[in-house]
Chain A
Amino acid sequence: MTRGDKILSVYLAAIFVFILAPIVTLIVFSFNADRFPSLPWSGFSLEWYEAIASDSTIHTGFKNSLIVAVATAVISTILGFCAAYTDYRFKFFGKMGFLALAAMPPTVPVVILGIANLTFMAQINLAGTLQAVILGHTVYCAPFAMALIRIRLADLDPDIEPAAWNLGATRMTTVRQVVLPFCRPAIFSAMAITAAVSFDEFMIAWFVSGINETLPVRILAMLQGQVSPRINAVGSLVFLVTITLVLIAQAAVYSFRKTRRNV
């Protein structure tokens, strides 16, 4: 190891400590017997996990978040695929505008997106429903799915589809038998990522969920009431779900490699 390598490793370690310290703290104190997050640790306990396990508002929040995450993942990925494929296959006037528009939602501050969603959902009588949260999250998540699938499509030899047509496959069949199988890793990855984003998302959910609280909204409500170590336990669970989804997405991306063009 050269001196430069050492400095680089230390630097990298410092970054990870900086990023992970709060999360590690959260997880560590979720198992602390004491109700105050202070050192020294007063002993291992599952008390706070037992407490949330018997809390029905957390059950409902978790269930809501799960429903919203799954629905959002499916709808966003379908929309994202359609947008990415449109970009890949067709040339048309205003394509740049179309792409900019399709990629825009995550660039809008979420507070604004939340308020806009609330106003719109109220107009169409959906405010306060889970459907509204799903719609809001889909708007926010579809661009991520589109981006992931576009990256994959960029590796699809432009001759592949015409080759399938040439061998007797109609356009629809080609999408089903050639494009979708090729995009499969990106589609899995997009579903996992959008589910993770949705599961975590607080702002839009807070504006439009009403009484149908998702887990992050429930957590804030708990925080506003009293600081309880139960929050550490819920937070740890949310982290576990999210990091699992992200790892799934990573694994899917990793499996891209084998079928990259010109490999």
Chain B
Amino acid sequence: MSEPILTLDAVEKRYGADVAVERIDLAIDKREFIVLMGPSGCGKTTTLRILAGLETPTAGEVRLWGRPINDVPPWQREMPMVWQSYALFPFLDVRRNVEFGLKQRGGMSAGERRKKALEWLDRLGIAHMEKRGIHQLSGGQRQRVALARALALEPEVLLLDEPLSALDAHLRIRMQGELSRLHSELGITFVYVTHAQSEAFALADRVVIMSEGRVQQIGAPREIYRAPASRFVADFIGASNVVGGTVVEEKDGTVVLETPVGRLEATGSRAKGAAGALSIPADWIAVEPAGEATDGTAVEGRLVTEDFTGAVVTLYVELHDGSQFFVQKQQHEIERLSLKRGTRVRLSWPLEHATILPE
């Protein structure tokens, strides 16, 4: 494999007794779209700021093309960032905002700078706004100016800190498409921070799930979705039902867990007597009218509510111990069941999709 463009080697950031980033090892490849995702306070933004040089790690090393850059000040890093607040210069017009970085770098005449700025504004579809003040722009337009300002430097790495979080849902989807397009057209490395799963999964080549200053899992969106590496990731992704229990049997790559909802089987291996959690993806669960006996890959419960969002329906089913399972189905798949609140249903799933989560 080729040399990574950016390497984080046991990077740590502490503020006194508080740990923002506990220890991060990460290698980012050229042209990769990498997304750091996690709940607020997980250290994702701190990690991004460490890359930008705005925070100095208290331990570990950051390398760019193998060269340590811990001591390189932010203004020499050439890794422009798109800010959550956009951080545009309010006293400069749109074009001068975009020219700011080029002006700092020097070596370009005013005419060349202007031309370059207009090129990028054009590319982002806002060239006609070059003379506007920042306060005259909408959120989406500001976002484009912020992107143009960063990209005008034609960097190898672009950093993005929750760039879409201030936009409304509709605009967010559009900008998501735009970012995806820019990434594939420009062939530069995007390091993107977000707490929104939909953004991460839609955009990323690889997602880094973080929690409490640590990396929980790194992988392609599909991998993370299908095989969460820990109970935290499974809960955070929220695509699976997670049930905790104790292993009572183990043989040939399957285990049986004693759980509050009954004895359940799972693929994987874990010593007898150990605690374990089992994850069942919500879209692999079949719903039938109750009746048939339950077994290691089925449970019975009562329908509590259904959540209808267009084509996909989420059913919430309460089990006998009071806990809930959720099931995601296409609308047409459950129509024939004519479910009502309170209906007793049987939930079952293929054994190979019930996996025991790594500890």
Query: What residues of chain A have their CB less than 8 Å away from a CB belonging to chain B?
Result: 157, 159-160, 162-170, 173, 177-178, 181-182, 184, 258-259, 261, 263
- Of all chain B residues, the one with the shortest Cβ separation from A263 is B135
Q: How far is the CB of A186 from chain B (nearest CB, A)?
A: 12
* 5 A-B pairs with the lowest CB-CB distances in the bound complex, closest first: A168-B104, A163-B87, A167-B101, A159-B87, A259-B90
* CB-defined contacts of B149 to chain A, threshold 8 Å: 167
* B312 shortest CB reach to chain A, Å: 36
A35 → B minimal CB distance (Å): 54
Chain A's nearest CB lies how many Å from the CB of B278?
43
Most buried by B among A165, A170, A181, A261: A165
- Interface stretch of the complex, out of B76-84, B174-182, B223-231, B338-346: B76-84
A69 to B337, CA, bound (A): 87
A164-B81 Cα distance, complex, nearest whole Å:
10
Min CB distance, A42 to chain B, in Å? 55
Known pairs A258-B133, A258-B135; A166 contacts B79 (CB<8 A): yes
- Which residues of A have CB within 8 Å of B4? none
Is B349 on the interface with A (CB-CB < 8 A)? no
Contacts of B150 in A (CB 8 A): 167
Check if B75 is an interface residue, CB within 8 A of chain A: yes
Q: In the bound complex, do residue A165 and residue B73 qualify as a contact, i.e. CB atoms below 8 Å apart?
A: yes
Find out whether the CB atom of A168 lies under 8 angstroms from the CB atom of B78: yes
B105 on the A face (CB < 8 A):
yes
| Interface majority SS (helix, strand, loop, mixed), chain B | loop
Q: A168-B104, A178-B89, A182-B90 are in contact. Are A159 and B80 (CB under 8 A)?
A: no
> How far does the Cβ of B14 sit from chain A's closest Cβ, in whole Å?
16
Other contacts beyond A163-B81, A165-B73, A182-B90: 13, CB < 8 A? A163-B87, A165-B54, A165-B74, A166-B54, A166-B81, A167-B75, A167-B100, A167-B149, A167-B150, A169-B75, A170-B75, A182-B89, A263-B135
B53 contacts across to A, CB distance below 8 A: 165
Name the distance in Å between B154's Cβ and chain A's nearest Cβ. Answer: 13
Query: Distance in Å from the Cβ of A169 to the closest Cβ of chain B?
Result: 5
Contact A167 B85 (CB under 8 A): no
> How distant is A259 from chain B, measured CB to nearest CB, in Å?
4
Tell me how far the C-beta of A178 lies from the nearest C-beta in chain B, rounded to whole angstroms.
6
> Quick one: which of A182, A259, A261 has the most chain B CB within 10 A?
A259
Residues of A contacting B79 in the complex (Cβ-Cβ under 8 angstroms): 166
| B153 at the binding interface (Cβ < 8 Å) | yes
* Docked-complex contact B91 and A182, CB < 8 angstroms: yes
Distance between A160 CB and nearest chain B CB, rounded to angstroms = 5
Q: Which of A157, A168, A169 has a CB less than 8 Å from the CB of B85?
A: A157
Q: How far is the CA of A159 from the CA of B84 in the complex (A)?
A: 9
Give complex CA distance A54, B155 in Å. 70
- B91 and A165 within 8 A (CB): no
Q: How far is the CA of A178 from the CA of B87 in the complex (A)?
A: 11
* Chain B proximity of A161: nearest CB distance (Å): 9
Do A259 and B91 have beta carbons less than 8 Å apart? yes
Whether B164 sits at the interface, judged by CB under 8 Å, is: no
B87 close to A160 (CB less than 8 A): yes
CA distance A258 to B134 in the complex (A): 10
Given A157-B87, A162-B74, A259-B90, A167 and B135 touching (CB < 8 A)?
A: no
- What are 16 residue pairs bridging A and B, where the CB atoms are less than 8 Å apart in the complex? A160-B90, A163-B81, A163-B87, A165-B73, A165-B75, A166-B77, A167-B75, A167-B101, A167-B153, A168-B76, A168-B104, A169-B104, A170-B75, A182-B91, A184-B91, A261-B90
CB within 8 A of A162: which of B54, B84, B101? B54
Determine if B52 is an interface residue (Cβ-Cβ < 8 Å).
yes
- Interface positions, chain B 192-209, Cβ under 8 Å from A, are none
Query: In whole angstroms, what is the CA distance A162 to B75 when docked?
Result: 9
Question: What is the CB-to-nearest-CB distance from A254 to chain B, in angstroms, rounded to a whole number?
Answer: 15
B105 and A168 contacting across the interface, CB-CB below 8 Å: yes
Chain A residues in 8 Å Cβ range of B74: 162, 165-166
Chain B positions 27-69 with a Cβ under 8 Å from a chain A Cβ: 52-54
The closest CB in chain A to the CB of B81 belongs to: A166
- Smallest CB gap from A155: residue in B: B90
Contacting residues, chain B, for A178 (C-beta < 8 A): 89
The smallest beta-carbon distance between A155 and chain B, in angstroms, is 9
CA distance A159 to B104 in the complex (A): 18
Contacts of B76 in A (CB 8 A): 168
Closest A-chain residue to B150, C-beta based?
A167
**What is the CB-to-nearest-CB distance from A175 to chain B, in angstroms, rounded to a whole number?**
13
A164 and B91 within 8 A (CB): no
Residues of A within 8 A of B77 (CB): 166
Q: Which A residues touch B78, using CB under 8 A? A: 168
Q: Known contacts being A258-B133, A259-B135, is A166 close to B52, with CB within 8 Å?
A: yes
Q: Using Cβ atoms and an 8 Å threshold, which residues of chain A touch B81?
A: 163, 166
Give the chain A neighbours of B90 by CB distance below 8 A.
160, 182, 259, 261
Residues on the B chain within 8 Å of A167, using CB: 75, 80, 100-101, 104, 149-150, 153
> In the complex, how many angstroms separate the beta carbon of B79 from the nearest chain A beta carbon?
7
Within 8 A of A (CB), among B95-128: 100-101, 104-105
Given A162-B54, A259-B135, A263-B135, the answer on whether A168 and B87 have CB atoms closer than 8 Å is no
Across the two chains, which residue of chain A brings its CB closest to B84? A159
Report how far A261 CA is from B52 CA in the complex, Å.
24
Residues of B within 8 A of A170 (CB): 73, 75
